[in-house]
Amino acid sequence: METDTRTRILDSAESLFVRHGLDATTLRMITAEAQANLAAVNYHFGSKEALIEAVFRRRLTWLNEQRIGALNAFEAEAKGQPLKPRQIVEAFFGVAIRMAADKNGGQTFMRLLGRTYTEPTDFIRTFLADEYAEVIARFKAAFFKALPDVPQEEFLWRFHFMMGALSYAISGADALRLLGPIDDSDPEALYARLMSFLIGGLRAPLPEVIAKPARKPRAKRAA
């Protein structure tokens, strides 16, 4: 029974966070939807922040394990040689796209994660940075090895843009209505389109970025 209550609270919190955001969702809203009481939240989680962490961690841990597992498999096949960029993109972004197509919780969570990427609070930014630390380090190293001709700073910008494209894609097509009718009901089509877009961006010609001149130190005023 306690496990059922905990799961109901997590499911309700996840759904409400997607609809209303982390800050606007109250514990009373969560307990009302979960048919539980505030004492149950305190018993299972202790605080709203701990509940938020539990909501993210129960699926994010699995997601990142799948990413590392996919990367490990590709690297084992490569036997020390650099991976193809497409393989690394597949391992990181492909797993997430497929999770977003899972209607048994994965879709809701990925929409929450996408929304959180674009509206992070200081608390959730720090939490996600800790959760992603090992994964990001592994994938950055793989990308740097696979793309030696791309300056590392430029790659970080591209990875940043790729994360933005992912979060926008998995948040649903509602935001795209201003462009006209868009059908996002076919997860395989979404997967193919987004992967093609990400690979294209990763391999795009390097931009001609004008270096900013160094700032001259301000002269100190006479006392």
Write out the two tokens for 136.
């990001």
Q: What is the distance between the alpha carbons of residues 3 and 44, in angstroms, rounded to a whole number?
A: 9
In a domain, 88, yes or no: yes
Q: What is the distance between the alpha carbons of residues 108 and 100, in angstroms, rounded to a whole number?
A: 8
Angle 200-84-163 from CA coordinates, rounded to 5°: 50
Q: What is the distance between the alpha carbons of residues 117 and 100, in angstroms, rounded to a whole number?
A: 15
User: Block means of pLDDT (10 residues each) for the chain, length 223 residues?
Assistant: 82 92 93 94 93 92 94 97 96 89 79 77 86 94 95 93 85 61 76 91 83 55 48
CA torsion 117-119-122-124 (nearest 10°) is -50
Q: How far is CA 127 from CA 166, 172, 204, in A?
A: 20, 24, 32
In a domain, 213, yes or no: no
Closest by CA position to 115, among listed 67, 55, 68, 197: 55
3 and 94 belong to one structural domain = no
Q: What is the distance between the alpha carbons of residues 144 and 151, in angstroms, rounded to a whole number?
A: 9
DSSP state of 145: H
* pTM, 2 dp: 0.81
19 and 104 belong to one structural domain = no
pLDDT of residue 223: 43
Kind and range of the H or E run holding 71:
helix 48-78
pLDDT of residue 184: 67
182 and 96 belong to one structural domain = yes
Counting the structural domains of the chain, the total is: 2
pLDDT digits (tens, 9 = 90+) for 107-138: 888 888 877 777 767 888 888 889 999 999 99
Q: What is the mean pLDDT of the chain?
A: 86
Distance of CA 75 to the CA centre of its chain: 23
The domain of 30 spans: 1-46
38 and 134 belong to one structural domain = no
pLDDT of residue 172: 59
DSSP state of 119: S
pLDDT of residue 123: 85
pLDDT of residue 54: 95
Q: How many CB atoms lie within 10 A of CB 18?
A: 22
Angle 47-49-53 from CA coordinates, rounded to 5°: 115
Q: What is the CATH number of the domain that holds 14?
A: 1.10.10
